[in-house]
Structure 1
């Protein structure tokens, strides 16, 4: 067990080792330099954990590679570690625990298997997976979950600021993941890197179509399902086999029916695309959905909505026929992106989302003075606060009150009041 003062001069003349050997420092007990036959050198500390004593086995812990620091720097690091040992720390055990700790990707796998897939809807689980796969795991997945910092996550959140809603949802998913991990003792308490990151303010995105918008939309749908919507190739792009004639986009009757049903029922996209014929109660005029975003619910059908349903061909189990309709491998239609892109462009509604058709349904009801509670029930809102977004459109009671006040004031001023106005004497 060679002992010498570990200085640059002494270490420069060390003999070549034919087997692993440790040179211990004569000034700091437990500090040394391990030299391998390959020539690799590592600064180390040796100590007895848990208060020491000859009955406790020694542990050896690497401080740093020889090239990473000077003898003086390594001695300071070793002295700090040895001081922490005297206070009850165990650097070797801590490193072993860190080495065995789960990565964020491994914790995410447990999060889905034991929590999300069991307690959340399939659509919610799919959205969680999409957010983590696209934005979080590529950069942080291989990092130990307990070592992911607020700065790591804030950097990703900042990069996503162009899509504020998705950025905030990603943050919420990570926060939920760490809450699960802390409950399972997979990471220490207080590890959640999303806890103190401020979310972006999300501006309301509701768009309500006017009567003129609806007229153009109806005309565009009828054109698309009959003669087709004309289109021209993009002059900035080179495309092979572009037809010179019959450049028209024709949508199938199920796509057209889906667009009409979204408007006439105010239902969500997945509720219409996943709608089965067995859930349609024509006699009572209801869609009896066994599951939705807010759970089991019934959608009340108007006469126009019933007319749309009666006009759709019954090909398979789904009202809106999708892939392999009528076969044992039948699946619901995935989306309406292409039909909606063609129809909305033709109607001059580019930028309007399919979900805005649901908002439009609610806005028409609010503008007709039907009352927010009724609208909330028609849309299947579980929380009344969700319906409050349409409060500014619920103007029928306000208009009646404004007319009453305005007529009374006009009459008192000697102006001609509107029909129903009363002549009153104003107090001075």
Structure 2
């Protein structure tokens, strides 16, 4: 599109669209403002260089806000004037950027290359950069000098603990390293180098060809027997209560006189949250941050506006609806969250203590050989997926239930896909709910509401 002249007033009229677009200045040809769906606006200068096909260059000047329209116009005039003299601003910038050190590239990536990531993911990236990459000698290398052998050396040094960071006073570690950390850090660094390639600072990614360690995150998949034990413990936790455990050791100030026989009832909100994690395959924050305004019991849907992979709708079946109906009957006035916390109007922050007590009582914190292996809340999501795959429901259907599939590739088949997803959801949910004793298998029927 074209505007009469790129000014602050004209820019204020521009709105983000579903796809990126450029508003071109009608006064200075080649000067424009790139508008992204996220709302980020950047001034650009576009010119032809070399007079042949594919010779169009687009130079980014800077973001609106950091640059005024007048400042950006002056810069664009310089770039366009230089192009007529045979100076390629984009290539010159790429040469200068190739002289960045790895540490400087990481800083630029955190500032300009993470717009698609959530703040929690950016914080994790920043931690890996500060703890494992910047202290390493690769951080001082110019990015144009980095080869796969240097990346491989970083991988091995993190794995062996050479980048481990001790706490002040030398007691314990902030970061220990190891093969898992090495794999995830180098994979992230590969993404940073991909950013450099995209920006034309580099011609190829030096991480390519580096073989990473298997990224074993310790996933657990609950067996039907384990799901049954978990279900029984959840019922016991919310009714009779679990054997009392001191928060601060056996000599705690408020230890009951008959501690050996005392029992403590677990919050119905904590129990309900765990059941929803079991029955939906959702991530922890998706359930803890869930608001009643996002719950549609009639259609059997959760409308998640801010999940890890963006906005999505989660199908829920009869057993999950029953859990939500029970929670709704206990809804705290003035709190919009399904799983309310202690602070007024806020959601519950975590499930660490009740989850630890429940899994210990159910005997779920050991592996198949009897070795200690704590069951994580996220393993409920893995168990949901494994139950679906084991039922031959297809990876694509299970992936859609978990929010893994790209919506753009399946949108045209949405009216067919939801029916298939609904059948898959019912089959997975029914198996989990029956094993956990949440429902009577003889009374389970497919949820028809909302299905195509």
Q: What TM-score range do you get, normalising by the shorter chain? A: 0.5 to 0.7
2:302 match: secondary structure: strand
Counterpart Cα distance in 2 of 1:264 and 1:216: 15
Deviation at 1:240, TM superposition (A): 5.9
C-alpha separation in 1, matches of 2:117 and 2:350: 22
Partner of 1:52: none
After superposition, what is the alpha-carbon deviation per residue over 1:139-196, rounded to whole angstroms, capped at 9, x for unaligned?
A: 569735547743651343323698544332211111222333455577x656x66444
C-alpha contact 1:287 1:299 (8 A) present in aligned 2: yes
Say if 2:155 is the partner of 1:154: yes
CA contact under 8 A between 1:150 and 1:194: conserved in structure 2? yes
Could you say which residue in structure 2 is the equivalent of 1:317? 336
2:140 alignment partner, SS class: coil
1:49-106 per-residue CA deviation (whole Å, 9 max, x = no partner) reads xxxxxxxxxxxxxxxxxxxxxxxxxxxxxxxxxxxxxxxxxxxxxxxx99xx755544
Q: Distance in 2 between matches of 1:200 and 1:383?
A: 27
The residue correspondences of 1:192-207 to structure 2 (distance < 5 A) are 194-203=207-216, 205-207=218-220
- Change in 2 beyond 3 A, CA 1:248/1:130: farther
* Matched ranges for 1:128-207 at <5 A: 128-139=125-136, 143=140, 146=143, 149-150=150-151, 153-159=154-160, 164-181=179-196, 183-184=198-199, 194-203=207-216, 205-207=218-220
Mapped partners of 2:358, 2:214: distance in 1: 32
Instruction: Specify whether residues 131 and 103 from structure 1 end up closer, same or farther in structure 2 by C-alpha distance, changes over 3 A only.
Output: same
Q: 2:404 aligns with which of 381, 386, 392?
A: 381
The question of whether the paired residues in 2 share the 8 Å contact of 1:135 and 1:156 is answered with no
Q: Secondary structure at the match of 1:260?
A: helix
C-alpha contact (below 8 Å) 1:153/1:193 kept by paired residues = no
**Which residue number in structure 2 is paired with residue 362 of structure 1?**
385
**What's the offset of the Cα at 1:380?**
2.8
Is the contact made by 1:103 and 1:142 (CA closer than 8 Å) also made in structure 2? yes
Query: Structure 1: how far apart are the matches of 2:130 and 2:357?
Result: 30
Task: Output the TM-score relative to the length of structure 2.
Answer: 0.52
Does the 8 Å contact 2:241/2:264 carry over to 1? yes
CA gap 1:277/1:232 in 2 versus in 1, 3 angstroms: closer
Task: Find the structure with the greater CA-based Rg.
Answer: 1
Q: Residue 127 of structure 1: which of 124, 129, 139 is its match? A: 124
Q: CA deviation at 1:200?
A: 0.6
Larger CA deviation: 241-250 vs 271-280: 241-250
1:262 equivalent in structure 2: 277
How far does residue 374 in structure 1 lie from its aligned partner after superposition? Answer: 3.9
Instruction: Give the whole-Å Cα distance in 1 for the aligned partners of 2:194 and 2:287.
Output: 34
1:353 aligns with one of 376, 396, 419: 376
CA shift at 1:382, angstroms? 0.8
Tell me: CA distance 1:374–1:104, structure 2 relative to 1, closer, same or farther (3 Å): closer
Hey, what does 2:227 align to over in structure 1?
214
Match of 1:243 among 218, 235, 255: 255
How far, CA to CA, are the matches of 2:266 and 2:118 in structure 1?
Answer: 31
